[in-house]
């Protein structure tokens, strides 16, 4: 690379600086793309493992309820044991549904009403 003042002057030095800056920018873009690729692969594998764990968790839960029914069947007949476990699960599901609906009603519409009201009051105060 020529130095300023020798054989090319400031023009060549500016051109060399621009080429170096361009090369650095390209390398930074390649680094960012490589990092994004690694993170995307990591996120994909993590999501797949979480989904697999959730599916296995559903099976574990099913077997736990089957075990509870089998243990209850030692005291009462099979059909009654299954009916009791089913009733308990239905009651739990109903309770969760009612609680979830209540929380959804409380959270909707998803607009920060108090913050909007305060912003309007602040705007009105600033206009005075």
What pLDDT band is residue 124 in, cutting at 50, 70 and 90?
confident
Question: What CA–CA distances, in Å, run from 70 to 64, 65, 86, 89?
Answer: 10, 9, 13, 15
Of 53, 72, 91, the residue that ends a domain is 72
CB atoms closer than 10 angstroms to residue 123: 9
**What residues make up the domain containing 87?**
77-128
Do 90 and 47 share a domain, yes or no?
Answer: no
Give the pLDDT score at 113. 76
Do 114 and 93 share a domain, yes or no?
Answer: yes
Do 12 and 68 share a domain, yes or no?
Answer: yes
Structurally, the chain folds into a number of domains equal to 2
Do 68 and 114 share a domain, yes or no?
Answer: no
Whether 2 has a pLDDT exceeding 70, the answer reads no
CB atoms closer than 10 angstroms to residue 83: 14
The Cα–Cα gap between 112 and 18 comes to: 48
**Bigger pLDDT: 60 vs 6:** 60
Do 52 and 14 share a domain, yes or no?
Answer: yes
**Bigger pLDDT: 51 vs 117:** 51
Give the pLDDT score at 80. 96
Percent of the chain with pLDDT over 90: 50
ω before 60 within 30° of 0 (cis)?
no
């Amino acid at each position: 690379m020529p130095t300023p003042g020798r054989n090319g002057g400031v023009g060549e030095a500016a051109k060399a600086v621009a080429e170096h800056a361009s090369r650095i920018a390209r390398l930074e873009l390649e680094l960012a793309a490589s990092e994004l690729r690694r993170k995307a692969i990591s996120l994909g594998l993590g999501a797949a493992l979480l989904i697999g764990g959730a599916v296995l968790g559903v099976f574990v839960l099913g077997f736990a309820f089957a075990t509870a029914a089998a243990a209850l069947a030692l005291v009462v007949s099979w059909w009654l044991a299954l009916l009791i476990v089913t009733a308990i699960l239905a009651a739990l599901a109903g309770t969760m549904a009612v609680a979830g609906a209540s929380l959804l009603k409380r959270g909707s519409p998803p607009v920060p009403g108090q913050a909007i009201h305060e912003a309007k009051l602040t705007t009105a105060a600033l206009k005075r």
